[in-house]
Structure 1
Amino acid sequence: MRNFLRILPLAALLAGAASSAQAQVELNFWDQVWGPGSYSQRAQQLVDDFNKSQDDIHVTYRSVPWANWYETYVTAIASGSAPDISTGAGFQAVQFYSMDAIYPVDDLVKEMEADGSAKDFAPGTLEAMKYDGHYVALPWAIDLRALFYRKDVLEAAGQKVPTNWDEFLAVSKAVTKDGIYGVVSSGDATGMHWILSAMINNGGGLFDADKKPNLTGEKSLAALNFLSSFATEKVLNPASAGYTNDDALGSFNAGKAAFYLSSPSTADQAGKEKDKVGVAPPLTSTSGEKGTIGWINNIMVYKQTEHPEETLKFLRWWSENQKVLWTEGKAGGIPARVSFQQDPYFTENDQVSFVIKNYLPIVKPMSATAGGTFPQLNEIDGDGFMMSLVQKLWQGQPAGEVVTPAQDHLQEIMEQ
């Protein structure tokens, strides 16, 4: 009997431990690939850090490739297997909210406003997450496109950094020889960003002021003609239409092209060649305007979660502790938190600090010419029709001919 009594407390402890383990909440976190391989590795480590920091919640991390990312989420939502929380492209939360798939984070925002921490978000970024009277996500990164150049390529050809479209083409022609091209790009999403950036740069865009598709508008079409001229003037690497972003970046890092449009952290991916990479000032277009495309990437909670309170707790922790995704994971884009932007990783990085100072003030979203935000933007962002368009432009096909199918497809999306 005495031995039994000795064993009983231990059994009770074990039962209590088992009960505690069973009570631990399990969350699934999906995260797109926001940088090189080091990004997803550091993100996984950050999730591990959260799991070790407390015993109530266990988060499982899944890295979601950009290939078919839109279909991945839509399929998961439709099948009832959406994650509890995910990062997402600039308009992902808005569209999925319109599908009744997003759990608003109003209570978390109210909590952060009350304790003052919401002030750390860069001006306009938190409000950009508001749709239909609700905060549908928290902002975490400002992604934009900037024009990078190889200092050594320009110097070898005796060229200065261009400041407008005409100078850009002239410099590109001057450096194109002996296997080196003025421009290298790709036929995937990164190449597509040339379309959005050039149209905004020229004062145009996907839509007119009435939110009607406007790819064929005067300023938008002029921008597409400008892009098509890269091929017709033979300053574009002819393989660009079939290149992936990794192919184009590899060519640029190897010094085989003078110009490359990409994210703020591009120079950091050049390895030993980083000091040879510069950032061109925002170009002035033929209409006399400046501008580039940008997105406020977000992190959202899904309505299918069985644990909204715990998910919001993790969301706040992640938002406050993710600086390492840049400083160690080499994430692209610029943090939405001002305190992160002030870290020496950014302020002492010549290329990134130049982007923050010169490009961030002129960034505009895809919906700039229409105003506001609306659910169709996420489908437009994830649909492949603009990739098809840029591939045709990189092949030198006339913009006036190839833009019509894209305009028609954009109209179809807006009418859904």
Structure 2
Amino acid sequence: MNASRTTSSFSRRGFLGLAGAAAVLPVLAACAPGGGSGGGTGAPLKFWDMPWGEPGYTVAAKKLVESYVPRSGLPKASYQSIQWNNFSQTFSSAIASKTGPAVSTGGGFQAFQFADQGAIAYADGLIDAMKKSGQLDDFLPGTIESMKTGKGYVAVPWQLDMRVMWYRKSLLEKAGAGVPTDWDSFRETSKALAKIGVFGFGVGAGAGNNFGNHAMVAMMIGNGGGMFDADGKPDLVTDRNIEAMEFVRELVSLGAVDPAAVSYTTDNLTTQWKTNRIGMGWNTAGLPASIGDTGDILVTSPLTGPHGDKATLAFGNNIMMYTNTPSQEASEAFLTWYLKSMKALWDQDVIPALPVLRSIAESENFKKNTQADKIIREWQPVSKTFGATSAALFGALAAVDGGQAITQFSQTMLQGKTDAKTALQTFQSAIEAVVK
């Protein structure tokens, strides 16, 4: 699995095992130490990290952590790379035995789930300190806010995983079509591509492939809708959502969607891009690298919806602190340092994800990747979370993102046989059983 696909596949969904593993955590939370015991004064602060790129990432991240020199009285940090396979159980078991990390990266909803179980040390103190020092101003708009819950900030963001619209320049030229700027022109370009046997809505909803799911959510968000209301309650059957999904059905009828897309795995989707079968489609910011084509695959600007809306779906991957730590002071000191120092990972080109810090996004090295730079400049400011239109995220979103209901909904829409309202009603009933 390549770097881009690793990032896209696991940044949000990799922690979904906790939907089941969390069943043990109510017991664990009762015996977990309170904010800041455990470990002893001589114990190193444990930082657990995930393989966010090719093997070079882990080597560079380990070297970075080993360079940490804490101020007097605080512990050094140790680095451990946790593999994605079964990692939810790895974290859960470690928390149960009080051998887990003090600070870690992980799945996008991980902090929210563990916070619900009492295992997370909230980051409010750290964020207040960064606000006073000016460090908070370095974060891109909306990234810090996405970590806030009713009880406080569960984590601090460090990278972004976004859904954006890509196109293959040579195929649009062959079809005599322009780069779409809104839904109307997207429809016309899709028609032109269909005439040359190319698909204009390249996604998939097969086993392990979430691009179809996220494309549906991105389309709803891009039309001013979303899956939830402002209070975080499921709110799918709205005029804007129905309109967005009827547009998807229209694309299906125009031949913009491969009939086999309902069963596409991520590998199938990658192959379709590589073999020039897809002319446009939703994907991650790392698509060009994942298919080995950085010249002909270009990102559009955000598409304008029929009511003037511009928006897309984004997941904020974060760094979280735990209650089992040598001290909360030690955790906050390390995380403050890490946020200031992690630019080295982008400078070494070992991480495909998008940064949340302006100082990295505006650096000369990052701007060399013109497509990533465009995504940060144009797509990030209009991005919204998986919980839209709610301003806050919550742990139950993991079960929605990784559940069967959203995949079944996406497959239904990609088949184009069921009207949008009926499909949305079915989807709403399914997630109401999860989000209570």
Task: Indicate the TM-score class for this superposition, using the shorter chain for normalisation.
Answer: 0.7 to 0.9
The partner residue of 2:170 within 152, 155, 159 is 152
Shift, 1:330, TM fit: 5.4
SS at match of 1:167: helix
Change (3 A) 1:382 1:45: same
Instruction: Report the Cα distance in structure 1 between the residues aligned to 2:357 and 2:159, rounded to whole angstroms.
Output: 8
Aligned-partner residue type, residue 334 of structure 1 = L
Separation (CA, whole Å) in 2 of partners of 1:379 and 1:305: 28
Report how far residue 338 of structure 1 moved: 0.9
- C-alpha distance 78-281 of structure 1, shift in aligned 2 (>3 A): same
1:27 aligns with 2:46: yes
Is the CA contact 2:45–2:101 (under 8 Å) kept in the aligned structure 1? no
Distance 1:128 1:25 in 2: 30
Specify the SS of the correspondent of 1:176.
helix
Q: Does the aligned pair in 1 maintain the 2:164–2:299 contact within 8 Å?
A: yes
Give 1:406 deviation, angstroms: 1.6
The residue that corresponds to 1:286 in the other structure is 306
TM-aligned CA distance change 1:281 to 1:112, over 3 Å = closer
Q: Which of residues 246, 250, 254 is equivalent to 2:271?
A: 250
**Alignment partners' CA distance in 2, 1:97 and 1:191:** 29
| Equivalent residue in structure 2 for 1:130, among 148, 151, 174 | 148
Distance in 2 of aligned mates of 1:69 and 1:404:
34
CA separation of 1:354 and 1:134: change in aligned 2, threshold 3 A: same
| Distance in 2 between residues matched to 1:25 and 1:266, nearest whole Å | 38
1:270 is displaced (CA, Å) by 4.0
Indicate conservation of the 8 Å contact 1:105/1:136, yes or no: yes
Matches within 5 A, 1:51-70: 51=66, 56-64=76-84
The 3 A distance-change label for structure 1 pair 378 and 78 is: farther
Are the counterparts in 1 of residues 141 and 381 from structure 2 also a CA contact under 8 Å?
no
Q: CA deviation at 1:56?
A: 3.4
Residue aligning to 1:50: 65
CA contact (8 A) 1:89 1:297 kept: yes
Bigger mean CA offset, 155-164 vs 236-245 = 236-245
Answering whether residue 256 of structure 2 is matched by residue 235 of structure 1, we say yes
* Cα drift, residue 343 of structure 1: 1.3
- Please state whether the residue corresponding to 1:183 is helix, strand or coil: coil
- List runs of 5+ in structure 1 lacking aligned partners: 1-21
Q: How does 1:391-410 map to 2 (within 5 A)?
A: 391-398=411-418, 399-410=420-431
Within 1, Cα distance between the matches of 2:195 and 2:132? 60
SS at match of 1:413: coil
Q: Tell me what 1:276 maps to.
A: 296
Would the alpha carbon gap of residues 249 and 72 (structure 1) be closer, same or farther in structure 2, given more than 3 Å must change? farther
Q: Give distance in 1, aligned partners of 2:220 and 2:156.
A: 28
Q: Which moved more, 1:396-405 or 1:384-393?
A: 396-405
Equivalent of residue 121 in structure 1, options 139, 152, 161: 139
TM-superposed CA distance for 1:24, in Å, is 4.9
Is residue 113–residue 396 contact of structure 2 (8 Å, CA) maintained in 1?
Answer: yes
State the match for 2:130 in structure 1: 112
> Aligned-pair distance for 1:76?
6.1
8 A contact 2:45–2:326 mirrored in 1: no
Q: Which moved more, 1:367-376 or 1:136-145?
A: 367-376
Please tell me whether Structure 1 or Structure 2 has the larger radius of gyration of its CA atoms. Answer: 1
Gaps of 5+ in 2: 1-40, 70-74
Residues 48 and 80 in structure 2, CA contact (< 8 A), matched pair in contact too: yes
Cα distance in 2 for residues equivalent to 1:383 and 1:358: 31
Deviation (angstroms), 1:179: 5.1
Matches within 5 A, 1:326-341: 326-329=346-349, 331-341=351-361
Q: Helix, strand or coil: the match of 1:182?
A: coil
Asked if the contact 2:175–2:196 (Cα under 8 Å) also holds between the matched residues in 1, the reply is no
Task: Report 1:316-335 matches (<5 A).
Answer: 316-329=336-349, 331-335=351-355
Aligned residues of 1:27 and 1:311 also touching (Cα < 8 A): no
Separation of aligned partners in 2, 1:194 and 1:159 = 22
Where does 1:379-394 land on structure 2 (aligned, <5 Å)?
Answer: 379-394=399-414
- Answer yes or no: is the 8 Å Cα contact 2:44–2:326 preserved in 1: no
Distance 1:69 1:414, change over 3 A: farther
TM-fit CA distance, 1:142 = 2.9
2:318 corresponds to which letter in structure 1? N
Q: CA deviation at 1:274?
A: 1.3
Q: For the aligned residues, what is the CA RMSD?
A: 3.0
Aligned length: 387
Residue 101 of structure 2 contacts residue 322 of structure 2 at CA under 8 Å; is this kept in 1? yes
Structure 1 residue 391, shift from structure 2 partner: 2.2
Q: 1:60 to 1:208 in 2, by over 3 A?
A: closer
Do the aligned partners of residues 384 and 47 (structure 1) sit closer, same or farther apart at CA in structure 2, a change above 3 Å counting?
farther
- Amino acid corresponding to residue 234 of structure 2 in structure 1: P
1:356-399 deviations in Å (ceiling 9; x for gaps): 22212211223332333444334333434212221222233313
- Alpha-carbon contact 1:42-1:324 (below 8 Å) kept: no
Q: C-alpha distance in 2, partners of 1:212/1:363? A: 20
- Listed one character per residue, the Cα deviations across residues 129-154 of structure 1 (whole Å, up to 9, x for unaligned) are 23335332111123322111000000
> Counterpart amino acid of 1:410?
I
* Structure 2 residue 189 is matched with structure 1 residue 167: no
CA distance in structure 1 between the aligned counterparts of 2:241 and 2:364, rounded to whole angstroms: 39
The change in CA–CA distance for 1:212 and 1:62 in structure 2 (over 3 A counts) is: closer
Bigger mean CA deviation after superposition, 374-383 or 282-291: 374-383
1:219 and 1:351 map into 2 onto residues whose CA distance is: 30
SS of the aligned residue for 1:148 comes to strand
Q: CA deviation at 1:155?
A: 0.4
Say whether the 8 Å CA contact 2:249–2:414 is kept in structure 1.
yes
Aligned-partner residue type, residue 237 of structure 2: T
Distance 2:407 2:94 in 1: 24
The equivalent position to 1:225 in structure 2, one of 228, 246, 257, is 246
Deviation per CA, 1:215-247: give whole Å up to 9, x if none.
221111221222233333322123322223343
